[in-house]
Amino acid sequence: MKKLLACLLTVCIVFVLSVPVMAEENTLENRVQILENLFGGLSLYGSARYDTFYLKSNSKFTTAGDTDSVTQLVSKTPILTGPDQKELQYGLAGNSRIGIVMNRGEGLGGNVELAFKNDGSVTLRKGYGTYTFDGVTLLIGQDYTPLSDFAYSPKSTWNYSNQVFNGDNDMAGWGIIDDQDKRVPQIKVKWNGLQVALVEDRYASFPAGLKTTPTDATTQDVLPKLEARYRLTTDMCFGDIFGGVNSYKVKSETDDIDKTLTSYALGVGGGINLDPAYVRGMVWTARNGKQMGLHQADAAGVTFNSIPSTNNPTIADDDLGWAIIAGVNIQKVTVEAGYGFVSSKMDESGAKKNEAQNYYLNATIPVIQNAAKTASFMIVPEVGVYDYMKNASGTDQGKALYAGAKWQVDF
C-alpha cells in the first residue's frame, strides 16, 4: 500500500513540476501547495481477514425462522441447514476492507471504505462526509447506525464482544442489539458521547399472518426511523443508554386494512476495566423489532390475525436480549468469554417464548506489530455454540458447535 502511494506521489510531483512555461506565474511554492492540498490530511488503511472454522450440528438442529445467525455474511444463506451436518468454513471474511480517511480543514472531512469479499466482489461499507463545529459533528452518508456500532474494535470505544466467528459477528442478534443492515444512509449528529440519527428505513413490509398477502398491499413511511445512544465514560468504566423508534402504515382495500405499525427498542449497557481483567454487559427490549430492522435469532415480528378486525388486526412481538462478556489480559494475549441470550414472544393469550443462546471462548494472540503501530498481524482461535433451544411450540431446535480461528492483518 505504501509503495503504491509512493508511486502515485512521484507521478504527481513529476507532473506538477513539469508544467509548461506557459504558466510561469505558478512558482515552485504554488505547485508544492497544490500537492499539499491534494494529499494533505489523507490517510489509507486496510484489513485482510480470513476465517478457518469447522462446524457441526446435532440431530435436532434447525434454523427455521432464522436466516441471519448461523450464516455467511456475504450471501446471507445458512451454513448449516439441517441436523447432523458438518462443514468446513474457510475463506476471506466479508468484513475485510480498505479505506481512506480525509481531513480537508475547516472542520470538513470524510471516510470511504470498501469491502473485498471471498467471491471477488467489492462493495461499499462506509461513505460519508462530516462537518465539525464547536465540538458537534454532522455526518451525512452511509455509516454505522447508533444501534449497530456495539461491536468490538481496537480503534473504537464502542465495544462489547470480540466474538470472531461468522465474520466478527460479535454476538450480534444473540444478546447484543444490532441492525440487520449495520451501515445505512443517514443523517447523524454526534456530540460529547451522544449520537442521534435519522436512518433510512429498509424494513417497512406488509406483516405475515394472512393466508395470502393482498395483491394491493402497500406500505408507507410515516416518520423517519430514529435511533440514538449516549455513552458516559470514566477512566475505569463506561455506561450506555440507547433506543430507537420506527413507524409506518400498511394498507389494503381488498382486506380492509389501514394500520400504523410502530416499533421501538430501549436498552442499557456498560463495562468496567479492572486491569488486567474487564467485564461488559448489556440488556435491551424491543417491540416488533423485526419491523424496525433489528437482527434477533428466531424473532417473528408483528403478524396479522387470521381475520383482521378493526379493533385488533395485528399481534405484536415482544423481544428481549442480554449478554455478558468477561476477559483478562495475560501478557500480550487477551482471553475472552461471552454469553448471550435472546427471546421473543407474541403478545397474545397463551403464547410461549421462543428462546436462543450463544456462548464462546477465544484468545486474541498478537503475532507482530510495526513500530509505528499502524500495521499488525493477529490470530484469534475460538470455540463456541449456537443453541436454538425450544421454540414457542416447545420443540427442541438443537444446536451447532464451531471451532477454528480468524487470521487478520491490518495495514
Domain membership flag for residue 121: no
For residue 176 the three cell numbers come to 447484543
Residue 69 and residue 55: Cα distance in Å, rounded? 14
State pTM to two decimals: 0.84
pLDDT value at residue 73: 39
**Domain total for the chain?**
1
Domain membership flag for residue 141: no
What is the rounded average pLDDT for all residues in the chain? 84
Domain membership flag for residue 118: no
Q: How confident is the model at residue 42 (pLDDT cuts 50, 70, 90)?
A: confident
Q: Which of 35, 28, 41 is nearest to 12 (CA)?
A: 35
Q: How confident is the model at residue 77 (pLDDT cuts 50, 70, 90)?
A: low
pLDDT value at residue 333: 97
Residue 150 and residue 158: Cα distance in Å, rounded? 5
- Provide Rg for the chain, Cα atoms: 24
Domain membership flag for residue 295: yes
- Span 102-120, average pLDDT: 91
Listed in sequence order, the residues at least 6 apart from 167 whose beta carbon sits closer than 8 Å to its beta carbon are 49, 51, 72, 73, 74, 93, 94, 95
pLDDT at 244 over 90: yes
pLDDT at 7 over 90: no
Identify whether the C-beta of residue 130 lies closer than 8 Å to the C-beta of residue 139. yes
For residue 244 the three cell numbers come to 430507537
For every residue of 13-34, DSSP letters joined together read HHHHHT--GGGTTS-HHHHHHH
Domain membership flag for residue 273: yes
Residue 165 backbone dihedrals phi, psi, to 5 degrees: -60, 150
- Span 226-231, average pLDDT: 95
Any idea which of 171-175, 221-225, 295-299, 325-329 has the lowest mean pLDDT? Answer: 295-299
Structural domain boundaries, residue 309: 51-93+148-182+201-410
Residue 74 and residue 141: Cα distance in Å, rounded? 22
pLDDT value at residue 296: 83
- Span 65-85, average pLDDT: 59
Domain membership flag for residue 13: no
pLDDT value at residue 268: 97
- Span 56-80, average pLDDT: 62
Q: How confident is the model at residue 40 (pLDDT cuts 50, 70, 90)?
A: low
